[in-house]
Each structure stands twice: as C-alpha cells, then as structure tokens.
Amino acid sequence: MIAAIVLAAGMSRRMGQAKLVLPWGSRTVIGQVVHVLLEVGVDSVVVVTGASHDQVERALKNQPVRLAINPRYMEDQMALSLQTGLSRLSDEMEAVMIVLGDQPQIEASVVQAVIKEYQTSHARLVVPSYQMRRGHPWIVDRSLWPELMVLKPPATLRDFLTENAGLIHYLIVDNPSILLDLDTPEDYARQSPPPA
C-alpha cells in the first residue's frame, strides 16, 4: 500500500497570500492536488499544514484525507513536515509518495507512472526526471523512513536524496509538470487555468 504526504505547511511569503486556497479551475490549489491523488487511488493521503491550516481544512472539508499540523512550520523546513506526516501513517503502508501542496499542475498520468515504476522496479527510491532534472512527486520505500525521521535542520530532503543517490531509480518523463510549483503571483497568473 502506498500513502501520499502532501507538504502544505509553507508560509507563502513570496505569494503574499495563502496560495494553497487560491482558485484553480473549479477547485483550489490544494484541492486539485488532493483530487489527483484520490483519482489515481493512493491508499492514504495526509496533508501536512502549518500557516494556513484553518483555510486548508475548510478547502478539504469533504475530502477523505487526514490533516496534520507541523508544529514547527515557522522554520520552513520540508523535512519537518514530512516527519510530521510519516508519524501519522499506519504500519501497513509500504511506501510514501512525497507531494508538493503548491503543485496543482500535477498530472494523474505521471503519478500513476511513478507508482507503477515503484511497484515493478522494487527500487527503494523512485524519482521522476524531466530533461535531467529531478521533480515531484517521488516515492520512498518504508525501509528508508528511519533516515527521513532523523533528518535535522539544516539537512534537507535534497540532502537525503544526495546521500542515497545510489538507490534512486529515475523515471524519465516527457512532462515538465514535475518541475512546476507556485511561488509568486507571476507564477500563478501564468499557470492557472481559467475559472470554471
């Protein structure tokens, strides 16, 4: 069984407002991310929140997801949010997919391909790659979770991937969506679909 942890605890400083609840077509940014994960049949979804917890909770109120608050979200470290999410997963989960909450460009076909690659390759780390650049979402086998749980700032998830580079199985995708996220008002204006 594969869970997904959606990292959604950021402060949205560069956006200047709570970007996760901005409109994205007929949904919100975070609503679109969760919709895709549920559409492809991920077994469990944990959304780790922080600065915008109440707004995200309202946006996802009818969705079958679990919310968890990263108590140290002010430190703006994704690893801390991931640890919060990992601590909420059941023992039956075999792997976790790490998803960005501000990546509504995420495509179901890519998520499915990453999951399938993990299931068929039996690699401990499966990371999508577009034009030699790593992107999201990526999958970590349960056997590596202890390493993630002991990461301490300033160590980052990038450091974790670097340290485990020999274990990474890259899935080459012909899709730049794995590299996209929303950081600034300009990103949002350029990438958002028209209102539904």
pTM (two decimals): 0.93
pLDDT at 195 > cutoff 80: no
Residues 114-147 have pLDDT tens digits of 999 999 999 999 999 998 889 899 999 999 999 9
- Let me know if 3 is exposed, middle or buried by CB neighbors in 10 A (0-12, 13-18, 19+): buried
Rounded CA gap, 6 and 139, in Å? 12
Instruction: Give the pLDDT band of residue 181 (cuts 50, 70, 90).
Output: confident
Per-residue pLDDT averaged across 65-81, rounded? 91
Tell the CATH topology of 2-182.
Answer: Spore Coat Polysaccharide Biosynthesis Protein SpsA; Chain A (3.90.550)
Helices (H) and strands (E) in the chain, counts: 7, 10
Three-state SS at 84: helix
Please name which of 119, 162, 124, 155 lies closest in space to residue 140, comparing C-alpha atoms.
124
**Would you list the domain boundaries of the chain?**
2-182
Q: pLDDT tens digit string along 17-34?
A: 778 999 999 999 999 999
How far, in Å, CA of 167 to CA of 42, rounded? 23
Task: Tell me: cis bond preceding 176? Omega within 30 of 0 counts.
Answer: no
